Amino acid sequence: MTSLYVSLKTSTFQPSNLRRRRLNPEREAAVAAVGIDGRRAPTVRMSLGVEAPSNAAAKSLGTLKGKEVVETEARVLVGTYARSPVVLESGKGCKLYDVEGREYLDLSSGIAVNALGHGDEDWLKAVVEQAGTLTHVSNLYYSIPQVELAKRLVDCSFADRVFFANSGTEANEAAIKFARKFQRHSHPDAKEPATEFIAFTNCFHGRTMGALALTSKEHYRTPFQPVMPGVTFAEYGNIQATKELIQPGKTAAVFVEPIQGEGGIYSATKEFLQFLRQACDDAGALLVFDEVQCGLGRTGYLWAHEAYGVFPDLMTLAKPLAGGLPIGAVLLTERVASCMAYGDHGSTFAGSPLVCNAALAVLDKISNPNFLSSVTKKGRYLKDLLEQKLGKNPHVKEIRGFGLIVGIDLDVSATALVDACRNSGLLVLTAGKGNVVRLVPPLIITEQELERAVEILSEALPVLDENGSQ
């Protein structure tokens, strides 16, 4: 037991209308004896008998078993996530381990984030070294990792400039603002410059209010209406329907995912993206590619749009860029960037030295042509395996995808199959309307691990018959 000595002076007390954590009865009695009533109190030297935290107490959460963690989570966190009943504790490569010691083959990658898997040595070295040097300074000052990362992103893309954010939805919010400012800057004499946006069916651009307005699923938007007005949704891939919507003086920008992840692993055609590029140019609108999930090597190309030979005015990035640390980025041309002025947008945390140094380690590996070639090769191998083992099952409607972003489209809900895979040691995701199994493994996954994953999927398929008959 240790004694805590407190000088009870005026500055120690806070106004009574501030929320105060309730003390236990003994401590409240001790405090009451000196009177917390907002009045000046004398300086008192008193022993509150506060016990120094033992190592056992400090580590109590770390020693809880899965069920206890789940129960604690239900009491202390906002219930916004329908989590799988797994408490993960550690990971290495493409394997994850829960608190009970069970091993899982990870084909979810933290929702397409852990491109280098878990515990990559070069990434870890970059994080540890930078954490010991400089972690955060805000954007009031320059920092070397941020400038170096921006330079590297410019050098390997269509872009002239970079804006850093903290997530994919923040990157899309920034792109919305940039598009609005661009239109106002480009048409200073216009009474009402273009402010509207076009997005597409099955799209997902984020959960903050602007990005949410660009997201097509109504159940995401409805509880928070009214969201940002001026968004029209066109059918993904439908050139004729979209042609009528992109209008000069009205459309500020078109947001599109070259490959839709959350929406069900749908790939755009080259003709569709070429049309969007030309239609935007004709209307004076900006073309924004959202590559938050499909970018940075997942398709076997560094950027998904490179496969089509069509280039945007802006591109939003996030998920894999910092290997699991929070980051977002907007890559944009000088034509768009030149309209922005000091103070038009900003972020306290974005582009921190720690996160940017981690991102440099990720970019170093993924941008290597041999690495990208391996992704292409493994993506083809995965699809071939899936066609051989699952393709003839009557519940499998289509196997689609590009590189290591693959979807298995089912005629029933995918939930039972996902659950069965998890129980057998394989982590996969759903997409679309819940009927698509989404496979987004770490890009370092081996062919042997892919074989094992497909084997588990194949063995779990009978659960779909049970699910379909209910």
Would you state the pLDDT for residue 63?
Answer: 65
Average pLDDT over residues 416-424: 98
Would you state the pLDDT for residue 56?
Answer: 46
The pLDDT tens digits for 283-314 are 999 999 999 999 999 999 999 999 999 999 99
Instruction: Supply the mean pLDDT for the chain.
Output: 89
End-to-end Cα, the chain, rounded Å: 61
- Percent of the chain at pLDDT above 90? 84
Would you state the pLDDT for residue 61?
Answer: 59
Output 44 or 242, whichever has higher pLDDT: 242
Would you state the pLDDT for residue 213?
Answer: 97
Would you state the pLDDT for residue 457?
Answer: 98
The set of residues, in sequence order, having a beta carbon less than 8 Å from that of 154 and lying 6+ positions away, is 160, 161, 162, 331
Whether pLDDT at 182 is above 60: yes
The set of residues, in sequence order, having a beta carbon less than 8 Å from that of 131 and lying 6+ positions away, is 354
Average pLDDT over residues 438-458: 98
What is the C-alpha R_g of the chain? 26
Tokens of 414: 């995918």
Local structure of residue 268 (DSSP, 8 states): P
For strands 405-410 and 426-427, give the pairing. unpaired
Alpha-carbon gap, residue 348 to 243, rounded angstroms:
40
Whether pLDDT at 27 is above 50: no
For residue 255, give the nearest of 302, 310, 204, 183 by alpha carbon: 204
pTM of the model: 0.86
The dihedral built from the CA positions of residue 346, 352, 353 and 356, taken in this order, carries a sign that is negative
Instruction: Name all domains of the chain by residue range, CATH numbers in brackets.
Output: 121-367 (3.40.640.10), 370-464 (3.90.1150.10)
The pLDDT tens digits for 78-100 are 999 999 999 999 999 999 999 99
Contact 234, 203 (CB under 8 A): no
The pLDDT tens digits for 60-78 are 556 668 889 999 999 999 9
Q: What burial letters (b/e) apply to 72-109, b meaning 16+ CB within 10 Å?
A: eeeeeeeeeeeeeebbbeebebbbbebbeeeebbbbbb
Would you state the pLDDT for residue 66?
Answer: 85
Which residue is listed with tokens 């938007």? 221
Return the biggest CA–CA distance within the chain: 82
Tokens of 462: 């009978």
Q: How far is CA 65 from the centre of its chain?
A: 28
Query: What confidence category does residue 262 fall into, taking pLDDT thresholds of 50, 70 and 90?
Result: very high
Alpha-carbon gap, residue 444 to 432, rounded angstroms:
26
Whether pLDDT at 209 is above 80: yes
Phi, psi of 228, deg, nearest 5: -55, 125
For residue 263, give the nearest of 417, 123, 429, 31 by alpha carbon: 429
Counting every residue written for the chain, the total comes to 470
Residue type, 155: D
The set of residues, in sequence order, having a beta carbon less than 8 Å from that of 466 and lying 6+ positions away, is 416
Would you state the pLDDT for residue 39?
Answer: 40
Contact 258, 305 (CB under 8 A): yes
Which residue is listed with tokens 């206890």? 68
Whether pLDDT at 30 is above 50: no
Would you state the pLDDT for residue 467?
Answer: 66
Whether pLDDT at 19 is above 60: no
Contact 268, 308 (CB under 8 A): yes
Alpha-carbon gap, residue 115 to 282, rounded angstroms:
37
Would you state the pLDDT for residue 468?
Answer: 58
Would you state the pLDDT for residue 9?
Answer: 38
Number of neighbours of residue 443 by Cβ within 10 angstroms: 27
Query: What confidence category does residue 139 fall into, taking pLDDT thresholds of 50, 70 and 90?
Result: very high
Contact 48, 4 (CB under 8 A): yes
Whether pLDDT at 360 is above 70: yes
Query: What confidence category does residue 466 fall into, taking pLDDT thresholds of 50, 70 and 90?
Result: confident
The pLDDT tens digits for 150-181 are 999 999 999 999 999 999 999 999 999 999 99
Read out DSSP for 189-212? T-SS---EEEEETT----SSHHHH
